[in-house]
Structure 1
């Protein structure tokens, strides 16, 4: 299948969505009793679990402690059954390390770490099923887990991917669109109030003339995802008030 076939004559994508439409998203809280906060996110067929521990005392060497803020420790992994390729996945592969570092940078800038000096916050994220846009789903799940843990955060961090197909921007890229070459994929993690971009990564080189269009599409996708996340948070708070 070529990139020309990613959009039908009616302008619909391979999964029936419009180019500007994100996949159906659902969120739930409190999936782990042992953690301080946890969340489960489904973005289409991409399914992600996130757990947060802390703030707690520094573990390991005390030399990494910061007197003016908490340190953020992140770990990203993919379950062996998350894709059709049933093979062991090492935690130290390049893509896993890249996503781990990106997650740490996002939450170092989003969490009010200055409120917790000499402490550590651990964020663990695992992809249970991979169907594209893994990184953006991980950011969204980790955000909800941080909020569930009661850790102060500047805003509800939301993330979305975008790409370009035959001069048409598309948002929330799925696995089929990733694998058959929709073009370089841009993923943005956003603090929505001021539209502050915390993270922006591209899977390949993108011509400068299309970057603004793809960025705008990703930001619009973030706004769609934000609405679902806010509704989930509100629903969770209401359920707590009824208890």
Structure 2
């Protein structure tokens, strides 16, 4: 396990008097404390690069291309608190943990990340976009790296904090993990927390990372299906049916299409063919 990347802070932040969680258990944007914002990812969005991706967490939107540099568009937010070099270093250290560099000696991998819209969670969105872009480029990785943040406001752990919650002065934990290997590649915390509360917030962030990993795998699987389809290749499964066969294609949403009766000597009930 790699040592966590922790940003120390000398003093506790002043607690905010604003109510960020209502008595009904709702946050300012209508979410429950343990509810993530809607996420969306898409790969292959930039031409003439080896890999690219867009990743959105709520209205935070990041684009990444593989050909580690971090920039923030002037219009993405009115406050650019973190220096680009610092976040670039965080992304680099996080991604280096998963890339199988020994398979590519004397090779330079450039990751360009641009924040298009910022509403909190930009570090996590950058890491998730970089993971998708590296996968699109075919870079061998030990595992996916996914990231999510969690905070602590009004004595309540909050998953996937937005900009308003992040600016409230409470604790904010950003985590990056390799879910299948069960390893932490990034741990960055602002402010201080008692150990028992920190463990709860970190566990909440881990659950968020796992949810992002599940979604990213779905995006990659769907992209693989589309690539195979565009290449004129599809996998068909023939199943015995009333003396003939049903052809079940993988790349049309699993729909089953009847085809003509085939007299075949295939001994098995189920056979897979690639065309």
Shift of 1:94: 5.4
Select 2:52's aligned residue among 27, 34, 38. Answer: 38
Shift of 1:180: 2.5
**Deviation >6 Å, runs of 4+:** none
State the TM-score, normalized to the length of structure 1.
0.85
Provide the C-alpha distance between the structure 2 equivalents of 1:240 and 1:143, rounded to a whole number of angstroms.
19
Provide the C-alpha distance between the structure 2 equivalents of 1:35 and 1:203, rounded to a whole number of angstroms.
35
What is the number of equivalent residue pairs in this alignment? 216
**What residue number does 1:99 align with?**
87
**What residue number does 1:163 align with?**
151
Q: Report the structure number with the largest CA radius of gyration.
A: 2
Q: Deviations over 1:160-218 (max 9, x none)?
A: 0001123321111101111233x121000000013210010012233323111111010
In the alignment, structure 1 segments of 5+ residues that lack a partner are: 54-73
**What residue number does 1:63 align with?**
none
Q: Kindly report which structure 2 residues correspond to 1:191-230, keeping only aligned pairs within 5 A, or say none.
A: 191-230=178-217
Conservation of the 8 A alpha-carbon contact between 2:19 and 2:154: no
State the TM-score, normalized to the length of structure 2.
0.75
**What residue number does 1:132 align with?**
120
In the alignment, structure 2 segments of 5+ residues that lack a partner are: 1-14, 231-275
Q: Deviations over 1:83-113 (max 9, x none)?
A: 146xxx7xxx853111111111111110000
Provide the secondary structure at the position in 1 that maps to 2:97: helix
Higher helix share: 1
- 1:29 and 2:70 matched: no
CA RMSD, aligned part only? 1.7
Select 1:81's aligned residue among 75, 83, 90. Answer: 75
Q: Kindly report which structure 2 residues correspond to 1:179-190, keeping only aligned pairs within 5 A, or say none.
A: 179-181=167-169, 183-190=170-177
Provide the C-alpha distance between the structure 2 equivalents of 1:116 and 1:204, rounded to a whole number of angstroms.
39
Measured at CA, do residues 3 and 24 of structure 1 come closer, stay the same or move farther in structure 2, by a change above 3 Å? farther
Conservation of the 8 A alpha-carbon contact between 1:4 and 1:165: no
Provide the secondary structure at the position in 1 that maps to 2:223: helix
Select 2:129's aligned residue among 119, 131, 141. Answer: 141
Conservation of the 8 A alpha-carbon contact between 2:49 and 2:66: yes
